[in-house]
Amino acid sequence: MTYKNFTVETDADSIALVTWNMPDKSLNVFTEEVMIELDKIVDQVTGDDGIRGAVFTSGKDGSFSGGADITLLKQMFDTIQEAKASGDKEAGTQKLFDRAGAMSQIFRKLETCGKPWVSAINGVCMGGALELSLACHGRVAADSPKVKLALPEVKIGIFPGAGGTQRVPRLVNAQDALQMMTTGQNLKPSRAKAMGLLHQVVPAEELISAAKQMIIDGLKPVQPWDEKGFKLPGGKVYTPAGAQLWPAASAILRRETNMNYPGAQAILKCVYEGLLVPFDLALKIEQRYFTQILQTTEAGMMIRSLFVSMQELNKGARRPNDVPETKFKKIGILGAGFMGAGIAYVTAKAGIPVVLLDRNTEAAEKGKAHSEDLMTKAMQKGRATQEQKDQLLSLITPTADYADFDGCDLVVEAVFEDSSVKKAATESAEEVIKSTAIFASNTSTIPITDLAKNSKRAKNFIGIHFFSPVDKMMLVEIIMGKKTGDKALAVAVDFVRAIKKTPIVVNDTRGFYVNRCVLKYMSEAYNMLAEGVPPAMIENAAKMAGMPIGPLALNDETAIDLSQKILNQTVKDLGENAVDPRHIELVNTMVDTHGRHGRKNGKGFYDYPEKPAKKHLWPELKTLYPQQNADDIDFEELKQRFLVVIALEAARVMGEGIVTDPREADVGSILAFGFAPYTGGTLSYIDGMGVDNFVAASKKLQKKYGAQFKVPKLLNDMAKNGETFYSRFDPYADKSDQAA
């Protein structure tokens, strides 16, 4: 029997080698077709007396499988929409329930077929692929840094729904199982084996032979939980150990998620309830919760933004199609400070030669030393080898001579944020680089159109805004000037993709997109301070709303004296009415009166004592304004204020045409400053609430707190017309094929 996505070869020992190798994809993923073929293969192995067992592996180098394909999840959400449209909720839910259990049923069929299966894991093994492996009776992984095992579904709003929540806690203790699934953490082979998820870790070249040997040695075709007398690794739920685990697990989940993620809550419920009943009933419990979670707003929005949209943007969704792809031979980085050095590091890490230029060789060498330091730390954590370090450093050439930029496909300027300094740097670089090369400025405040005036070829001038620290932040804003051409955009997108970052494309404006939203977040904290809201309540409200860091702590990271400069420059450019005078008074008091500049000088809204002591809010902060009684403050309203004020700014940006694709607004807001991921991003937050409900909430807040909550015309129009951002600004409107 032949298959499109698999090959089945039986050897002299009567062992079938099932190799998954999808011909039209770089990564194996579960699709409807794959599941149908896998089901048939299980039947083939089971029904062939000439096969004693099977080894399942991947034909992709360094990759086993990434889990479910976009199309598979899309089909489930289409089922939800069809049910809503039909009005028959019960029938729709039943259809979704059946579809949600399809993969789990195949895996259960495999593990109860009466013949032993061994999963030979040669690379990345995520989600459904790991759940398939857990259904196999034996599991062997290659001893390779390419092998990573994880059940990361919680990160996109759902949970392991193909048996993962039941097999993992029957193989490892419940505490480790919960930790693994509620965080979606990656496991190295050694860690997975120590936990009990793998039977063996062997050299890569011995992977298949070791897997086959397990069958030859008499591997039982029965899972531990299907044998009489099976005992849970961590003991039963109703034991003294269980009495300690489950209340603590619930408390930790509440602390870490503030109960904003239904998928994470469902994991605890699935594991707890599933461990009380026989395995097949436990799978039904999991299927029921999976069906329920798929219908939540959080799951729909998170899957769209963090799975579908993220993949589309990473594949270059906003890249002009008619420009040939650039294969970079050499990149120039102009400025070897912290940002420039970081850009040089990620470029060299992608295997691209880098020329790192600064005012003198010593400064340039110091910039290269940043890469050496990062690689040394990676080696200490076992994430890099000396060979990899040497290779990366060999790609970075420090220099003080602009002539070394000759032959660069792209030059990224990352000098001091000063127009005159950038002007001189641009002119010097353009004297050397070829006429077809692209020049990009890494700026966070100066409009690209203004900077492009320094260039002799504005069509090849573009903004590439990195976030700090460059090696950790996954988002890059690409800013289009008024004269920026398609080639410059295509090259910029190609570069961002080459260094494995996510690009979003925005049009030129003060603060671009991300900084406009971030400034609103911090400004609302200023408002609350001035109102007398206790500082701790401000920080806690933001974090409980889903933000990763409170606005005051974030302001300390970005520097309060920088906020002071931005406010003063805004007044200078736009007039006094453009800034709330209370904000200027606050930052002046912090910086000029108390010398509190932020984390960089060890004192800001927080104090930063010597380690091991932890940072804490500056005690005197609450004395700057008369304090309200905390019991009289509506805490839920504080949480809402933060999310609404940011989302309103995102809506304004869309209305002004600065961002034109809602996917970029959503993904950008999550990756850049962690906007409550469970909402799916700034615009999905509005869509998920319902535009009319959001408008009503905003108007209520405006009446109570001020103009920052004024609803833009765009939102009023959308509310009247019953539109959402993804219908009004449909990113697929001009595309015939909407599938990934």
Q: CA 341 to CA 350: how far, in whole Å? A: 14
Is the Cβ–Cβ distance between 151 and 184 less than 8 Å?
yes
Q: CA 423 to CA 9: how far, in whole Å? A: 65
Is the Cβ–Cβ distance between 304 and 731 less than 8 Å?
no
Is the Cβ–Cβ distance between 482 and 508 less than 8 Å?
yes
CA 678 to chain centre: 12
2: left (phi over 0), alpha (psi -120 to 50) or beta: beta
Taking residue 463's Cβ as centre, other Cβ atoms within 10 Å add up to 27
Is the Cβ–Cβ distance between 22 and 28 less than 8 Å?
yes
SS3 182: helix
Q: Is 90 exposed, middle or buried (0-12, 13-18, 19+ CB in 10 A)?
A: exposed
Alpha carbon of 113 to those of 136, 282, 469, 539: distances in Å? 11, 19, 51, 55
Side-chain-facing half-sphere of 325: CA atoms under 13 Å = 7
Outline where DSSP puts E strands in 103-247. Answer: 117-121, 124-126, 138-142, 149-150, 200-202
Handedness of CA 213, 216, 220, 221 (dihedral sign): positive
Taking residue 645's Cβ as centre, other Cβ atoms within 10 Å add up to 20
CA angle 172, 175, 177 (to 5 degrees): 50
583 among known catalytic residues: no
Residue 643 one-letter amino acid: L
| Residue 358, token pair as written in the block | 């600064």
Q: CA 88 to CA 85: how far, in whole Å? A: 8
Is the Cβ–Cβ distance between 147 and 245 less than 8 Å?
no
Alpha carbon of 160 to those of 78, 152, 271, 328: distances in Å? 20, 8, 11, 39
Pick the closest to residue 586 from 652, 538, 544, 543 (CA basis). 538
Q: CA 681 to CA 305: how far, in whole Å? A: 7
Interaxial angle between packed helices 682-689 and 691-705, expressed in degrees from 0 to 180 and rounded to the nearest 10 = 110
Pick the closest to residue 180 from 226, 234, 116, 258 (CA basis). 234
Q: CA 197 to CA 173: how far, in whole Å? A: 11
Give the position of tokens 């996954």. 474
Pick the closest to residue 189 from 233, 139, 237 (CA basis). 139
Catalytic hit among 465, 594, 597, 616: 465
Side-chain-facing half-sphere of 543: CA atoms under 13 Å = 16
Q: Backbone phi, then psi, for 126, in 5-degree steps?
A: -120, 155
Is the Cβ–Cβ distance between 139 and 197 less than 8 Å?
yes
Q: Is 542 exposed, middle or buried (0-12, 13-18, 19+ CB in 10 A)?
A: buried
Helices (H), 338-479: 338-349, 361-380, 386-394, 419-430, 448-452
Taking residue 164's Cβ as centre, other Cβ atoms within 10 Å add up to 27
Q: Residue 7: beta bridge partners?
A: 19
Q: CA 404 to CA 353: how far, in whole Å? A: 12
Q: Which residues are catalytic?
A: 465
